[in-house]
Structure 1
Amino acid sequence: MVRVMVVDDHPIWREGVARDLAERGVDVVATAPDGAAAVRIAPATRPDVVLMDLQLPQLSGAEATARIRAALPDTRVLVLSASAEHGDVLGAVRAGASGYLVKSAGLDELVDAVTRTAAGQAVFSPGLAGLVLGEYRRLEGVGPDEPRLTPRETEVLRLVAKGLTARAIASRLTLSHRTVENHVQNSLRKLQLANRVELTRYAIEQGLDTDD
């Protein structure tokens, strides 16, 4: 069961999200009304995922994200915000957020995003992934001589960039789940990336999420 802390300064929204997640089998271990409270509560409750609003009193969501990630490296932050402004999205990712959803997301999408974030995936609302993760060439400096992936590895990587799970990719390409995982691991090794979050960043930065 995924352990989650919900951080939002609007009580009705905060408690509503917590209740909806709990009804879907998510273990809501805490809620917090502002960024400062979230930073205090997180070490005591050690959630797998912090569902973080950005516009918070006392301490912004981005600053709270950075502090929580520094104190709890294994805890991931998924931003849930009304804002889709480019600066807000980029700021959240730079602070250490693993993903970003706008509040118009449905409950099924939210539960899926929380689960995938806990599993180490990067999750973004449609239209935001290319914007945010495309910055990583500039921010991290990708070298010009990168290893070549096979056509099948590139095909799998394109679907990873679109946000599909390994099982969904296997179904789409009529492959076994193990084969898809092998392609993912080969890509990680060739590109010298640590995990699926970094692989997703690379894929979207290469524009693979825009291909049909």
Structure 2
Amino acid sequence: MSPLSDPLAPATVRLVLVEDHDMVAEAIGMALNHAPGIDVVARSKSIAAAVADAGRWQPDVVVLDRRLPDGDGISAIGRISAVAPEARVLVLTGEATASVAVRVVEEGGAGLVVKSSGLQELESAVREVAAGGVVFAPSLLSGVLDRLTGRERHAGGVLTGRERETLLLLAEGVSTDQISERLGVARNTARNHVQRVLEKLGARSQLEAVAIARREGFLD
């Protein structure tokens, strides 16, 4: 049976690429389009165009350049999420520091990739965030968690038993698909569990939820 007709084959990842430099966009777009199971449905050159394209195409992943002609890409994550709630945003940046990574997490982004990384690494990052994971360099992750853990914030609700199970799995760094498999529930149900955990903890991303949970003692 061919992958196209196999009901168990992974779904194609629909991707919007936001990059204002033509040569860079062309290289990234061609590489990702040639990667099996990834379809670049639109290329945008500005924040305004990215928001419009995300709303039109409802992609699974948005690869978003940090520096764009009409502003800072990180600050646009919320606008993109508002028009395409299911989209995971992966930020491309020239420099990756803990402070930049914290901003990405706080805005609801799913990861940060340095532009100097290879195209294969970017492809892997796209697949990881599309599967529900987060992508940050190990050297940044501890700094991100330390800074988020130190923020003044309180859990906004009591987690159910299933939500606590979901939180423990998030702390292991597993994807939504893996949560679905480990809990024995449908993917949409797993996604709903994750969303409720984020809402109750007042978090805008899975990584921030884990940081808050650690501070509140939910993972002890």
Would you say same fold, with TM above 0.5? yes
- SS of the equivalent of 2:85 reads coil
Question: Alpha-carbon deviation of 1:204?
Answer: 10
Question: Alpha-carbon deviation of 1:49?
Answer: 0.4
- SS of the equivalent of 1:123 reads coil
The TM-score with structure 2 as length reference comes to: 0.67
Is 1:8 aligned to residue 19 of structure 2?
yes
Match in the other structure for 1:86: 98
Question: Alpha-carbon deviation of 1:96?
Answer: 1.4
The residue type paired with residue 107 of structure 1 is L
Is 1:19 aligned to residue 20 of structure 2?
no
Match of 1:33 among 42, 45, 62: 45
1:53-82 deviation digits (Å, cap 9, x = unpaired):
111111320122110112221111011211
More deviation, 64-73/82-91: 82-91
Match in the other structure for 2:153: 141
1:146-205 deviation digits (Å, cap 9, x = unpaired):
x9xxxxx9xx969935xx7799xxxxxxxxx89x925xxxxxx9xx8459x636852798
Question: Alpha-carbon deviation of 1:125?
Answer: 2.3
- SS of the equivalent of 1:128 reads helix
The TM-score with structure 1 as length reference comes to: 0.69
- SS of the equivalent of 1:108 reads helix
The change in CA–CA distance for 1:194 and 1:44 in structure 2 (over 3 A counts) is same
CA distance in structure 1 between the aligned counterparts of 2:80 and 2:207, rounded to whole angstroms: 23
Paired residues, what number? 182
Match in the other structure for 1:55: 67
CA distance in structure 1 between the aligned counterparts of 2:101 and 2:86, rounded to whole angstroms: 21
The change in CA–CA distance for 1:72 and 1:120 in structure 2 (over 3 A counts) is same
Match of 1:114 among 112, 126, 140: 126
Contact in 1 for aligned 2:153/2:212 (Cα 8 Å) = no
Unaligned 5+ runs, structure 2: 1-11, 160-164, 184-192, 200-204, 215-220
The change in CA–CA distance for 1:119 and 1:201 in structure 2 (over 3 A counts) is same
Question: Alpha-carbon deviation of 1:99?
Answer: 1.0
Contact in 1 for aligned 2:149/2:211 (Cα 8 Å) = no
Contact in 1 for aligned 2:132/2:176 (Cα 8 Å) = no
Match in the other structure for 1:127: 139
Question: Alpha-carbon deviation of 1:140?
Answer: 6.2
CA distance in structure 2 between the aligned counterparts of 1:28 and 1:35, rounded to whole angstroms: 17
Match in the other structure for 2:206: 198
Match in the other structure for 2:3: none
| Percent of aligned pairs with the same amino acid | 35
Contact in 1 for aligned 2:81/2:87 (Cα 8 Å) = yes
Match in the other structure for 1:150: none
Match in the other structure for 1:181: 182
CA distance in structure 1 between the aligned counterparts of 2:152 and 2:128, rounded to whole angstroms: 24
The change in CA–CA distance for 1:42 and 1:23 in structure 2 (over 3 A counts) is same
Unaligned 5+ runs, structure 1: 148-152, 168-176, 183-188, 207-212
Match in the other structure for 1:171: none
CA distance in structure 2 between the aligned counterparts of 1:64 and 1:90, rounded to whole angstroms: 15
